Structure 1
Amino acid sequence: MHRITIFYSFLIFLAITSCQEKNGNSKESEKLSLKPNIVFVLADDLGIGDLGSYGQEYIKTPNLDRMAKEGMLFTDFYSGSTVCAPSRASLMTGKHTGHLTIRGNGEFPLKSTDTTIAQILKSQGYHTAMFGKWGLGLQGTSGSPEKKGWDEFTGHLHHVDGHFQKPDSLWSIEKGGVKKHAIEDDAFANEIFTQKGINFIDKQSDNQPFFLFMSYTVPHAELRVEDKYLAPYLNKHGESIFEPENPWPTGRHYGQQKYPKAAYAAMVTSLDSYVGKLLEKLKSKGLEENTLVIFTSDNGTHIEGGRTKEDVKFFNSTAGLRGVKRDLYEGGIRTPFIAHWPGTIPKGSISSVTAAYWDLLPTFTELAGYKKRLETDGFSIMDILLGKTKDINREFLYWEFHEEGGKIAIRMGDWKVVWTNLLDSNISAKCAVYNLKNDPYESVDLSSKHPDIIEKAKELYRQQHQRSEIDKFRISIPEN
């Protein structure tokens, strides 16, 4: 009798467990069947080492650190380029710089044939909004925001306008076009963008998914920041806690700054505060568990407006990686990348998958249920985010950039080939080979030992490089 009781108890246990598993799987499937909201937060010139979650010791970033603890932190993620416009174009269109129209800065617009993430998500029923720096098309061009899928927009059209933290005006979508309007005197643009983002989230409901793109202009120069963010980096006498400082004088393109190191730290902390406010609004609206939030930077850290290479080294803004903004070494293109989606993304997870900006268009469109064929150089990282797999079948990554002599970089697994001086008639072009697994800091050139790696990279170059339509961006590697 006792054995029979145990046997029936075991059958009941199996039945209950089976039901719980089915219910759990059903809930997960139901959650994924709902189109999730997407909030994409983009920093401007933030180094991979500038966040506490990536090893920063001096700059306070509690909200982003918490976001990493609650979500997934990527250690091997790359931007689309090493300056803002091509990086954003890569993000929006899912293409690398060998295929983009926009391969550098200079106010060249997206073409009418360039399809953006916003356009695809809008076609899938998403309400789309962007606040911050656009830089992919001025008023009246084919790349103006209202023509590229945005329902709402307030920000900068021209990327140079984003160089000034307290502008006198911004642009907004109004009546099917964009219109410039004055803003309150002495207002910080990124405070306005944040409030716009909060107001946008506050208007949302479960009835329609949304895509919110927060394109901040910090910590890009000019190094100007609100006093409340600067205060933690000043001593009781109102002086920088990071002395010695080298003041940036007045009368130059970027505004003056007495304490460049303190101001840079404060700008990163201000960015962290903005992210915290957005996360809090999602939570208070009950949208947190159906919203994927991504945080990253458009390229590596900068040395502009009073910031120096010594400052970069002091903060370890590149996490020890070689190069900064405008370089195709790791410090110029490897960026922080944090994904947050409570209940869906495994909490406290770390991904070492090699991924890049052009993977985001296929990822977001898969989330939205888009079934049509995509013209993209990327792969969806959806299964990485869900913890279903740890890698994607990637053969290479590709970048090209025309400034500072011209350069091209190709990564193939652990190997990376970098060509420099491609456009400088006074200096011979140079080709270097690095093994990132053994030498993540790109300090040992192995080109003399690995001509086979160079030949493999050349073949990929011939496959992936399309001659630029714009003379300014044209670049090529030597035939021999």
Structure 2
Amino acid sequence: MKNTLIVLSLLGSALFADAAKPNIILMMADDLGYGDTGFNGNTIIQTPHLDQMAKDGIKLTHFYAGNSVCSPTRGTFLTGRHHHRYGIWTANVGHLPKQEITLASMLKEQGYTTGHFGKWHLGTLDKVISSKGAKRKPAENFAPPWQRDYDRSFVTESAVNTWNPGAGNRAKNNPFYENGKALDPDDPTLAGGAARVVVDRAVPFMEQAVKDGKPFLSVVWFHAPHEDIEAGPDYLKMYEEHGEGAHYYGCITELDEQVGRIRAKVEELGISDNTLIFFCSDNGPEGKTPAKRRQGVTSGLRGRKRDLYDGGVRVPALACWPGKLAAGTESDVPLSTLDYFPTLGNLTGYEMPDARPIDGQNIWPILAGEMDQREKAIPFIRGNEVSLVDGEFKLLLPKGELYDLSKDWSEENNVAAAHPERVERMSREIAELLESFKTSHAGADYNDPEFKPVGKWKNVGSKKK
């Protein structure tokens, strides 16, 4: 298996070595549940543009966010490394160290122009104020995208209202920053749908890159449907029979329209055949059960946001590249946000400058239909809980639960007693990963004597005495 992966990786690199480097668009929703899109079976929420993207590309039916909450997933998304390697334990904690090699730094080095639009959530954007107050330690955790290799950025530190995002409770000490400059909350360009506000900045960035003849990386992290959830009047009319739930449904449809807008712009610019687009969510839906404006669903997966069961981490996902990826297909291979970095590095011919551990893998052979299983297991940590997805099986510690995901969609049948050797092997792998994470967190990967670890390491995965 390992030899096959190496050969296919080399073939993938050769395939794109002589071609123009692809434009890359990476879109992510916020708190969108596995069952919250038409392409995953939702019959209420209208997502025609995402559904069309599914028809034009690959539906990734077993795709994992890096964590069951926001900030850690975003770290895995940009680095290909588990968030515990650099101290982003949970949401609104720590920051992305400058020593990390990210998608932006990797691609910028190869001649890409880079842009980040929407939510950031990987550090503060001001050294004095933070949307989370003084406890967020804004000076210590100052790590804005304009200091993390992005040429253009239009971002907020954390969540905003999904309609009129410059206003409301979420806007306090949480302005939009455009290339490092805070916008006035009354700026008229911040009125309306939060997704449209963000894409209004992403589209000109792409247009300018094409005009300049440069390949681009455009990271678009939508705010919807994270709280505060509000839909505009036209969207509420679409779902008026659903009461408060209309706000949830409406803000997702508004996001969907902007996905369609981005894809239409790619087509208009004549670059669709050389543009790879991914879409996913950062974790499962908010709330213990669907209620009021929290209407996210998981298609029967157990758990929700903040859970390591699949309802908290398994998310809707798509990949689309006309002429390179087969349209109208599905992949049920376990994949992860950890895989973006190594996959895009492979496609663009990037060589790592050091031997730091990468936890994701190049999934191009899987997307291209050349492989039907992954090589690396996928680790998760939330609080003291740890889980590992290895092929069809998933182990959760310290609970000691093992599930066969190929037969147990809802993780209801603990088969640990029937597979003691598998439990032991996966437990050893978890222990080895945790030790590796701890070593990385201490700075061993950086060769930087001035590096100070982000936060204090905490041992996880053991039963509390």
Identify which of 172, 177, 200 aligns with 1:172: 177
Identify which of 44, 58, 64 aligns with 1:72: 58
> Structure 1's 447 and 479: CA in aligned 2 closer, same or farther, altered over 3 A?
farther
Aligned partners of 1:285, 1:474: CA distance in 2, in Å?
50
What is the count of residue pairs matched by the alignment?
409
Identify which of 340, 343, 346 aligns with 1:363: 343
Contact 1:73 1:350 in 2 (8 A): yes
Give the equivalent residue in structure 2 for 1:3.
none
Q: Does 1:226 align with 2:225?
A: no
Give the equivalent residue in structure 1 for 2:332.
352
Contact 2:338 2:360 in 1 (8 A): yes
Q: Does 1:321 align with 2:323?
A: no
Identify which of 206, 217, 233 aligns with 2:223: 217
Aligned partners of 1:432, 1:476: CA distance in 2, in Å?
12
1:430 counterpart letter in structure 2: K
> Structure 1's 163 and 59: CA in aligned 2 closer, same or farther, altered over 3 A?
closer
| Deviation (angstroms), 1:228 | 1.9
Contact 1:97 1:399 in 2 (8 A): no
Give the equivalent residue in structure 2 for 1:82.
68
- Deviation track 1:173-192 (CA, whole Å, cap 9, x = no partner) reads 54xxx221214257143321
| Deviation (angstroms), 1:477 | 1.7
> Structure 1's 73 and 152: CA in aligned 2 closer, same or farther, altered over 3 A?
same
Aligned partners of 2:433, 2:259: CA distance in 1, in Å?
36
Aligned partners of 1:437, 1:449: CA distance in 2, in Å?
16
| Deviation (angstroms), 1:400 | 0.5
| Deviation (angstroms), 1:439 | 1.0
Aligned partners of 1:456, 1:151: CA distance in 2, in Å?
45
1:187 counterpart letter in structure 2: A
Q: Does 1:136 align with 2:122?
A: yes
SS in 2 for 1:211: strand
Contact 1:353 1:392 in 2 (8 A): yes
Contact 2:159 2:227 in 1 (8 A): no
Give the equivalent residue in structure 2 for 1:476.
461
SS in 1 for 2:395: strand
Residues 150-299 of structure 1 aligned to structure 2 (within 5 Å): 150-157=150-157, 159-161=158-160, 166-168=165-167, 170-172=175-177, 174=179, 178-183=180-185, 184=187, 187-188=191-192, 189-205=194-210, 207-234=213-240, 241-242=241-242, 259-299=243-283
| Deviation (angstroms), 1:146 | 1.4
Contact 1:98 1:464 in 2 (8 A): no
Identify which of 441, 463, 467 aligns with 2:410: 441
> Structure 1's 74 and 392: CA in aligned 2 closer, same or farther, altered over 3 A?
same
- Deviation track 1:313-370 (CA, whole Å, cap 9, x = no partner) reads x977211100000000001001111011111111111111211111110111122221
2:207 counterpart letter in structure 1: D
| Deviation (angstroms), 1:272 | 0.6
TM value normalised by structure 1: 0.79
Aligned partners of 2:200, 2:18: CA distance in 1, in Å?
29
SS in 2 for 1:380: coil
Aligned partners of 2:166, 2:408: CA distance in 1, in Å?
43
Aligned partners of 1:70, 1:32: CA distance in 2, in Å?
25
1:475 counterpart letter in structure 2: V
Contact 1:73 1:339 in 2 (8 A): yes
Aligned partners of 1:164, 1:274: CA distance in 2, in Å?
14
Q: Does 1:92 align with 2:86?
A: no
Structure 2: 5+ residue stretches without partners: 1-13, 128-140, 168-173, 442-452
> Structure 1's 277 and 142: CA in aligned 2 closer, same or farther, altered over 3 A?
same
Contact 1:345 1:386 in 2 (8 A): yes
2:365 counterpart letter in structure 1: D
Aligned partners of 1:201, 1:296: CA distance in 2, in Å?
20
2:191 counterpart letter in structure 1: A
Aligned partners of 2:16, 2:402: CA distance in 1, in Å?
48
Structure 1: 5+ residue stretches without partners: 1-27, 235-240, 243-258, 420-428
| Deviation (angstroms), 1:30 | 7.4
Give the equivalent residue in structure 1 for 2:136.
none
Point out 4+ residue stretches in structure 1 off by more than 4 angstroms.
28-32, 160-165
Give the equivalent residue in structure 1 for 2:145.
145
> Structure 1's 198 and 330: CA in aligned 2 closer, same or farther, altered over 3 A?
same
Give the equivalent residue in structure 1 for 2:41.
55
Contact 2:92 2:122 in 1 (8 A): no
1:43 counterpart letter in structure 2: A
TM value normalised by structure 2: 0.82
Contact 2:119 2:159 in 1 (8 A): no
| Deviation (angstroms), 1:106 | 2.3
Give the equivalent residue in structure 2 for 1:337.
317
Contact 1:35 1:369 in 2 (8 A): no
2:349 counterpart letter in structure 1: G
Percent of aligned pairs sharing the same letter = 30
Aligned partners of 2:195, 2:42: CA distance in 1, in Å?
23
Contact 1:71 1:339 in 2 (8 A): yes
The two structures, once aligned, show a CA RMSD in angstroms of 2.5
Aligned partners of 2:33, 2:63: CA distance in 1, in Å?
12
2:421 counterpart letter in structure 1: D
Residues 426-465 of structure 1 aligned to structure 2 (within 5 Å): 430-465=399-434
SS in 2 for 1:170: coil
2:260 counterpart letter in structure 1: G
Contact 2:163 2:231 in 1 (8 A): no
Aligned partners of 2:215, 2:263: CA distance in 1, in Å?
17
Identify which of 410, 414, 419 aligns with 2:388: 410
| Deviation (angstroms), 1:132 | 0.4
Give the equivalent residue in structure 2 for 1:398.
379
Give the equivalent residue in structure 1 for 2:109.
123
2:147 counterpart letter in structure 1: K
Identify which of 27, 30, 45 aligns with 1:44: 30
SS in 1 for 2:210: coil
2:391 counterpart letter in structure 1: G
